[in-house]
Amino acid sequence: MNRHLCFSLIALLLVQVLLLAKTTKALGESLLLREQMSIPQGLPAIVAPNALRARIWLDGVKKLQKTLPSQRDINLHFEQANLPALVLLLNATSVTLEQGGGATVTATFSAKATQTLQELLTRMFCADLVEAAAHFVLETEKTLQRMDRHWPNGRLYTESLFPSPQEEPDGAWTETDWLCSAKRLEGLWLGIQALHSTSGDWLTQPQALASLENAVSWQAADPYLLSLLAEARLMRDLPQQCVETATQALHYQPELRRARYLRALAHWQLQQFGLAENDLSVILQSVEPAKKLPYLRARGAVRLLLGRFPGMCQDFTEACSFGDCDGLKHARSLSHCLPH
């Protein structure tokens, strides 16, 4: 049954990759959007530029979405579930801001999709990467929608990428409210820029550490930003700081599997094997069977270090049933988990 499920998931992802490959070909030339906005009086200086940058970026994603083949062509909608993959498809996405004469600001969006099919396939298979991209897109839009209900002399943002219920206006905004929203947009923007698929299933790069620290200073309560920061710190050989940051992320979203996994890896690096085993066990209690493999491998290795051999054998044997028998072979080379 697990093997059948795995083949079904692979087939679905291959269909999505073929769809996105057509998009990549269509985007051989850079997409350019340019928009100018008047800066409303009375708002903090940071608000209008951050709002315009977020708006034109989402507009660019929507325009790319419309270049995709129709459902009639391949019988597949490119809707909410696929939208984060489109964001990740953009190998180079940038928005530049220019302060114009008087109270105006101009934003220019540019994007060019240059991934090979293999690079795109790697991104599509990384569920954590797609989940993080979805979070940043959705939260950016929600922040703009909330700002829209208070925008002076007209609407800021009109078309939605994600369906959301209409909310009632939440009272008059103070300068603090505008500043908080602008800072949130800044943090989310830095987060989406830090996302990067690399070898080894990392979601970011070590050199993104400073940018992610800056992002968290703008938006300290976002669990996905904190998880990315924890990841960059682990990649920079800062395991204790990774533990602290991942714990913050889990405070805001206890079910965020990626943050818990990063904390387990950091505990492992700090030789706190019991704590690493605890985090991995929590993950394995709730993770779907098709996604168990990396956590079984990791917990089996930790249990080997702890000398908990029966549990280690159980983990490595189950991992082998998913196709990875390296741990079991290593354990048997040490005279453990021998067949009866």
Q: What is the pLDDT of residue 98?
A: 80
Instruction: Round to whole Å and give the CA distance between 33 and 270.
Output: 48
Question: 92 pairs with which residues across the strands?
Answer: 112
Name the pLDDT band for 262 (thresholds 50, 70, 90). Answer: very high
Instruction: Round to whole Å and give the CA distance between 329 and 336.
Output: 9
Name the pLDDT band for 156 (thresholds 50, 70, 90). Answer: confident
311 has a pLDDT exceeding 70:
yes
Q: Where are the alpha helices (DSSP H) in 149-287?
A: 175-194, 209-218, 223-235, 239-252, 257-269, 273-286
Name 317's Cβ contacts closer than 8 Å, sequence gap at least 6.
328, 337
Instruction: Pick 251 or 163 by higher pLDDT.
Output: 251
Q: What is the pLDDT of residue 30?
A: 54
Cβ 230 vs Cβ 220: under 8 Å: no
Instruction: Round to whole Å and give the CA distance between 79 and 72.
Output: 14
Instruction: Round to whole Å and give the CA distance between 25 and 128.
Output: 26
pLDDT average, residue stretch 318-325: 95
Would you state the structure tokens that stand for residue 88, as one six-digit string? 């990740």
Would you state the structure tokens that stand for residue 144, as one six-digit string? 């703009």
Lowest mean pLDDT among 227-231, 257-261, 289-293: 289-293
Instruction: Round to whole Å and give the CA distance between 65 and 49.
Output: 24
Per 3-state DSSP, the chain is made up of helix, strand and coil in percentages (nearest 5) of 65, 5, 30
The four Cα atoms 298, 301, 305, 311 give a dihedral, to 10 degrees, of 100
Q: What is the pLDDT of residue 233?
A: 98
124 has a pLDDT exceeding 60:
no
By DSSP bridging, strand 92-99 and strand 104-112 are antiparallel
pLDDT digits (tens, 9 = 90+) for 75-111: 333 344 455 555 555 544 667 788 766 678 888 877 6
Residue that the structure tokens 């600001």 belong to = 105
The percentage of residues in the chain with a pLDDT greater than 70, rounded to a whole number, is 71
Which of 260, 267, 269 shows the shortest CA–CA distance to 294? 260
pLDDT digits (tens, 9 = 90+) for 33-71: 787 888 888 888 889 889 988 888 888 777 766 665 443
Instruction: Round to whole Å and give the CA distance between 146 and 181.
Output: 9
pLDDT digits (tens, 9 = 90+) for 170-204: 678 888 999 999 999 999 999 988 887 665 678 89
pLDDT digits (tens, 9 = 90+) for 6-43: 444 444 444 454 544 554 454 444 567 787 888 888 88
Instruction: Give the distance between the most distant pair of CA atoms in the chain.
Output: 82
Q: What is the pLDDT of residue 168?
A: 53
277 has a pLDDT exceeding 70:
yes
pLDDT average, residue stretch 135-159: 83
| CA dist 80 → 133, 191, 291 (Å) | 11, 19, 22
pLDDT average, residue stretch 156-176: 67
Q: Please spell the DSSP secondary structure of 64-133, one letter per residue.
A: HHHTSPPHHHHS----TTTHHHHHHH-SEEEEEEEE-SSSEEEEEEEEE----HHHHHHHHH-HHHHHHH
213 has a pLDDT exceeding 90:
yes
Domain ranges of the chain: 14-157+176-197, 201-266, 271-340
